[in-house]
Amino acid sequence: MSKLWAGRASGEINEAAESFNASIGFDKRFLKEDIAGSIAHASMLGRQGIISPEDAERIIAGLGGILEDIAKGVLQVDESAEDVHTFVENTLIARIGEAGKKLHTARSRNDQVALDMKLFARGECDAITERLSKLVAALADKAEEYKGAVMSGYTHLQRAQPVTFGHHLAAYCYMFLRDIDRIKDARKRLNLSPIGSAALAGTTFPTDRKWEAEALGFDGVTENSMDGVSDRDYVVELSACLALIMTHLSRLSEEIVLWSSWEFGYVALSDDFTTGSSIMPQKKNPDIAELARGKTGRVYGDLVSILTVLKSLPLAYNKDMQEDKESFFDAVDTVKACLEVYPPMIKGMVARTDKMEQAAKKGYINATDLADYLAKKGVPFREAYKIVGEIVHDAVKKGVTLEEIPLSEYQMKSPLFGEDLYEEISLSVCVNKRTSEGGTAVSSVEKQLASIRNKLTSAR
């Protein structure tokens, strides 16, 4: 297949070098974007009188036919082409003749590939935010179901204070809502059209970049042609957003792995999202959560890859930038795959509230409430903290819970202790007293869930 750059050079290249240089193996993924961009470009050329309206119509019809035939399977992408742009343009010329040779007027592959990448990235932003919204909705529904289920809240992976399972799950809703905001924010910044920047210096033709940008759904155009062809900030930014999504998924995955273990027994996953062992018949492995946790590393690697590609690159376009695609494709595909499988896994997850409550009763997680009890009676909190610390120390040695200590022993530590202390340190009371904004009380969690659902509605 003829090279778009043949002329100054012969168009011939060493076979190994040609294979090394080619990008058709992965940038064929841009076929729809490339044809959409070319249709808009041809329309602009005809509209501006740069080519005749008849030639513009032939080009547009020819491009539409290529896309239709690809969709039907009548036409296959020629893997011998250097890249998707070469394939489309050569196929167009073969079909409509001389008019097809006019398509590339007033543009370069440099701004063409920048356009394709932005169109692709913009579409993936929308696809990922939709999947994130489904995950948040699934988590919010599960949080609603268990908004009153008492469990241990942890710090340092040690039992700390009583919370509800609904409160815990709502925390992840907010993480993923921030991810939606970040993706949408990055989308705004990338939504400026580079087409018309040409190779790097613009063009001598009387193009209308703003019309072409509007036709493609952009908010405007890049204002500097060198920046237009060399900017890959949005790839970095979106890769960072994807890496952070995976961070949040990995944290949730780690907890699901722990919660579903025999030692915790807090949750049971649906059989649809677990596997067994090839040798141990009793096993039920949380493979989906483990895989999501494991795939986080590759998305981190994709981010580091694009940062390293861009490091020290002089302006404007350099062939190094061809390396932006595979890592970005991988990050997008990995995140989408994880987000596809996670919502139904969450929906099928069942909490074992009895196990959660039993564990909560054995961790002295109501000790802070006992200190607060004294503080509310006028004891300075630091002194109350010390008194309760001694009480917990003695209880641990005796193997009893705070609820099991007789009032007489409490009063030996402080005469301010009364019969009402047992009500104050009841786990359900401890939870539902925390009505401060964002707290774990059921009433507070209900407000959080209402806020989460409002944010979801606004994000759509």
Active-site annotation, residues: 156, 277
- Under DSSP, is residue 437 helix (H, G, I), strand (E, B) or coil? coil
- Under DSSP, is residue 220 helix (H, G, I), strand (E, B) or coil? strand
- For 19-75, where are the E strands, in sequence order? none
Residues 6 or more apart from 88 whose CB is under 8 A from it?
31, 34, 35, 38, 63, 66
Per the structure block, which two tokens stand in for 248? 């949040």
Residues 6 or more apart from 378 whose CB is under 8 A from it?
416
The DSSP code sequence of 86-142 is HHHHHHHHHHHGGGGGGTTTT--HHHHHHHHHHHHHHHHHHHHHHHHHHHHHHHHHH
Listed residue (291, 287, 298) closest to 332, CA to CA: 298
Query: Torsions phi, psi of 264, nearest 5?
Result: -90, -60
Listed residue (165, 130, 175) closest to 144, CA to CA: 165
Q: What is the C-alpha to C-alpha distance for residues 431 and 435, in angstroms, rounded to an integer?
A: 9
Q: What is the C-alpha to C-alpha distance for residues 301 and 298, in angstroms, rounded to an integer?
A: 5
Does residue 316 have a cis bond before it (omega within 30 degrees)? yes
Q: What is the C-alpha to C-alpha distance for residues 186 and 179, in angstroms, rounded to an integer?
A: 11
192-193 and 220-221 strand pairing: parallel
Residue with tokens 């990922």: 128
Question: Helices 233-259 and 109-145 sit at what angle, rounded to 10 degrees?
Answer: 30
| Dihedral sign, Cα of residue 155, residue 157, residue 158, residue 163 | positive
| Dihedral sign, Cα of residue 424, residue 427, residue 429, residue 435 | positive
Q: What is the C-alpha to C-alpha distance for residues 435 and 167, in angstroms, rounded to an integer?
A: 12
